[in-house]
Amino acid sequence: MIEITQIEPKEIIKGCKGRFIHAERFTVGFWEIEVGAVIPLHSHKHEQTTQVTEGEFEMTINGITNLYKAGSIVVIPSNVVHGGKAITNCTITDVFCPVREDYK
């Protein structure tokens, strides 16, 4: 068993702190994101799902911007340009496949 709160958070981007679990083929990220924090547009080889668990988060995916609220989940294919901004303080759970070696 892993207690998420016992995982040391890493601030990957200013205002975005993540706790990560790495399995053999995927990574799960549990994020705490401060209101106003911006994740710049980027892409990566990983397939990704993003689920907003608390708050509101605006994401642009492949040039289309939407507001996601608690309970929303979105699938981001490999190499698709995406980024976002926290409209409120929020928590987000990401799943990446393959493993995010850069988050270890």
pLDDT digits (tens, 9 = 90+) for 38-90: 999 999 999 999 999 999 999 999 999 999 999 999 999 999 999 999 999 99
pLDDT of residue 50: 98
Confidence of residue 104 (pLDDT cuts 50, 70, 90): very high
Q: Is 62 contained in some domain?
A: yes
pLDDT of residue 44: 98
How many C-beta atoms lie closer than 10 Å to residue 102's C-beta? 9
Identify the CATH number of the domain in which residue 60 sits: 2.60.120.10
Contacts of 94 (CB under 8 A, 6+ apart): 27, 28, 29, 31, 48, 49, 50, 51
Q: Is 11 contained in some domain?
A: yes
Q: Is 35 contained in some domain?
A: yes
Q: 91 burial class (0-12, 13-18, 19+ CB within 10 angstroms)? A: middle
- Per-residue pLDDT, averaged over 17-27, amounts to 98
Q: Is 100 contained in some domain?
A: no
Residue 49: which domain range?
A: 7-94
pTM of the model: 0.95
pLDDT digits (tens, 9 = 90+) for 62-75: 999 999 999 999 99
pLDDT of residue 51: 98
The number of distinct structural domains making up the chain is 1
